[in-house]
Amino acid sequence: MLVLNSTFEEINRLESFVNELQDLTNFDDDDYSRIMLTLNEAVNNAIIHGNKLDPDKQVVINTEYDESKAILCISIEDEGEGFDPDAIPDPLKEENLLKEGGRGVYLIEQYADDIKFTKEGTKLTITYHLSR
């Protein structure tokens, strides 16, 4: 488990967290890259959109690993009010192509094997099928 305060400086702690996960599960560098990218996006979203950069609110990251199936699940939970993930505009639609933001969840979906929002959108669970 990793608990972060909702500041941009806390994001720097993700690298050592993912390094520890790699040591424990022995995933390869391709998996490392996609886990780092998606986790960084998810934590950024939790800090900015969920907790509104309130340093008194936390982001909690938990992991579960099924060694026999080489499946890693990482959950990221914020203390925000939540949101409807189905209401996220499609970043590939023409009217959204030039917008500065709005691609975080799309990127997570592209690099993860599965994602699931629960608790009214305050919790995201990302699933990875790791290379062996």
- Residues 22-35 pLDDT 10s: 999 999 999 999 99
| 78-120: pLDDT as tens digits | 999 998 888 877 766 777 666 666 678 989 999 999 999 999 9
Enter the pTM of the model.
0.92
Q: Residues 55, 6: contact at Cβ < 8 Å?
A: yes
| Ordered domains of the chain (ranges, CATH) | 2-129 (3.30.565.10)
Q: Give the whole-angstrom CA distance, residue 116 versus residue 33.
A: 20
Q: 10-34 as b/e, with b when 16 or more CB fall inside 10 Å? A: beeebeebbeebbeebebeeebeeb
The mean pLDDT of 7-24, rounded to a whole number, is: 97
